[in-house]
């Protein structure tokens, strides 16, 4: 065929550069497709390392020196108690001196590059609160506990990096009401409500973290009763809190399930207080709990410093294996320094021990 008889091919100036003619067709060469690259991984913030530091209101100089030591060894956050019993020795009346001392400690922590977290409830509650029934009485708890949370938020909210309203609710309930199943169920329900009430007050500000005392429960004997009791404990440690925070239902053995408004999603960080078995704890929390960053509060086990160092190293191995799958926000050791009946990362004189070296190396 004469090319001049094909109108659209008569002028080469009308063709794009890089074209060729074949059988009367115009073929345009294309840039080669780029090779697919490796999947893009979302960068996660490094795991924050911290410790629990005692807040003795009578020794502020020591507290500030302890904070300086925490910063010196490279910690990035600390957890301080706001002692309810000392701060409110009388119903509804707050001791400004206690709050001022905690506020000053938090400012010191921030000046040292430490993020101060506050725990609002300890084993020792005000005597007047306990005398009125404490958390065993829903009306007393519903009146005074929210007022305490509001007082702390008002006076410390500007310096807080985060909140832990209370820790180890299973142990708390066992300590307050160890023997009567009916009263134990009522108390546990009141503690769930207390958590929800704290969340309502604190949400929207610094993050709110749980600190649930979870572990793998196993029967203590071969009988069906032993098995049933292990299941009950498992529900009170795990199912009650993780399922409740996921779907808003309060499920306590021996009681009807109840829906509690604003319980679903009532935390910013799903914190777990553990002494071992960290890999399984993280797996179960991520699977059963709400979709939240995870945090570990770790109390090492062992009679000697060497054994405690091994316990910490094992914890870090589990955390490092899990951090590729889960968003792990922080690891907090309790306590930082030796205290009566409790061994820390360092001596009372702030000499770092093997356990401390293991924590910093993790």
From 49-63, 192-206, 299-313, the region with the lowest mean pLDDT: 49-63
Alpha carbon separation from 148 to 17, 24, 160, 168, 353 (Å, rounded): 77, 86, 16, 19, 37
**Residue range 303-310: mean pLDDT, rounded:** 97
Query: Measured over all CA atoms, what is the biggest interatomic distance in the chain, rounded to whole angstroms?
Result: 110
Residue 209: closest CA among 195, 194, 189: 195
User: Given a cut of 90, is residue 41 above it in pLDDT?
Assistant: no
> What does the block give as tokens for 188?
């546990």
pLDDT tens digit string along 246-271?
A: 999 999 999 999 999 999 999 999 99
pLDDT at residue number 92: 86
Residue 358 backbone phi and psi in degrees, to 5: -65, -40
User: How far is 112 from 174, CA to CA, in rounded Å?
Assistant: 38
How does residue 57 score in pLDDT terms, banded at 50, 70 and 90? low
pLDDT tens digit string along 109-165?
A: 999 999 999 999 999 999 999 999 999 999 999 999 999 999 999 999 999 999 999
**In CATH, which superfamily holds the domain spanning 48-361?**
Glycosidases (3.20.20.80)
User: How far is 332 from 295, CA to CA, in rounded Å?
Assistant: 8
Strands 19-22 and 162-164: unpaired
Residue 331: closest CA among 283, 291, 284, 274: 274
How does residue 77 score in pLDDT terms, banded at 50, 70 and 90? very high
> What does the block give as tokens for 147?
């007022």
pLDDT at residue number 7: 38
pLDDT tens digit string along 162-185?
A: 999 999 999 999 999 999 999 999
How does residue 54 score in pLDDT terms, banded at 50, 70 and 90? confident
**Residue range 200-220: mean pLDDT, rounded:** 97
The distance in angstroms from the start CA to the end CA of the chain is 79
- Count other C-beta atoms under 10 Å from residue 201's C-beta: 20
**Element spanning 74, H or E:** none
How does residue 60 score in pLDDT terms, banded at 50, 70 and 90? confident
User: Given a cut of 70, is residue 32 above it in pLDDT?
Assistant: no
User: How far is 167 from 297, CA to CA, in rounded Å?
Assistant: 10
- Count other C-beta atoms under 10 Å from residue 224's C-beta: 9
Residue ranges of domains in the chain: 48-361
pLDDT at residue number 21: 33
Strands 19-22 and 25-28: antiparallel
pLDDT tens digit string along 314-324?
A: 999 999 999 99
CA–centroid distance for 164 within its chain: 8
* 157 three-state secondary structure: coil
pLDDT at residue number 25: 37
pLDDT tens digit string along 82-106?
A: 999 999 999 989 999 999 999 999 9
């Amino acid at each position: 065929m004469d090319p001049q008889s094909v109108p659209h091919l008569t002028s080469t100036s009308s063709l794009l550069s890089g074209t060729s003619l074949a059988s009367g067709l115009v073929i345009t060469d294309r840039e080669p497709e780029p090779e697919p690259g490796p999947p893009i991984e979302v960068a996660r913030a490094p795991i924050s390392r911290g410790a629990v530091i005692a807040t003795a209101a009578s020794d502020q100089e020591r507290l500030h020196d302890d904070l300086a030591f925490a910063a010196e060894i490279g910690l990035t956050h600390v957890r301080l108690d706001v002692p309810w019993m000392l701060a409110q020795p009388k119903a509804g009346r707050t001791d400004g001196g206690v709050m001022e001392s905690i506020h000053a400690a938090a400012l010191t922590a921030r000046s040292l590059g430490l993020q101060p977290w506050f725990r609002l409830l300890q084993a020792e509650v005000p005597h007047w609160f306990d005398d009125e029934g404490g958390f065993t009485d829903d009306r007393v708890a519903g009146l005074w506990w929210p007022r305490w949370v509001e007082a702390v938020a008002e006076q410390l909210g500007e310096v807080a990096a985060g909140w832990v309203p209370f820790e180890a609710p299973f142990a708390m309930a066992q300590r307050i009401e160890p023997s009567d199943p009916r009263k134990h169920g009522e108390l546990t329900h009141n503690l769930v409500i207390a958590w929800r009430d704290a969340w309502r007050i604190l949400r929207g500000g610094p993050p709110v973290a749980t600190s649930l005392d979870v572990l793998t429960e196993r029967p203590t004997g071969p009988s069906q009763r032993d098995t049933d009791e292990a299941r009950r404990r498992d529900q009170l440690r795990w199912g009650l809190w993780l399922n409740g925070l996921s779907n808003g239902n309060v499920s306590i053995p021996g009681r009807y399930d109840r829906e509690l408004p604003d319980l679903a999603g009532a935390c910013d960080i799903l914190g777990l207080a553990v002494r071992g078995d960290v890999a399984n704890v993280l797996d179960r929390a991520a699977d059963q709990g709400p979709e939240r960053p995870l945090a570990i509060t770790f109390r090492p086990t062992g009679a000697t410093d060497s054994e405690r160092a091994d316990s910490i190293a094992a914890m870090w191995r589990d955390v490092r294996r899990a951090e590729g799958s889960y968003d792990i926000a922080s690891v907090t050791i309790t306590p930082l320094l030796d205290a009566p009946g409790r061994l820390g990362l360092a001596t009372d004189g702030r000499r770092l021990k093997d356990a401390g070296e293991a924590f910093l190396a993790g």
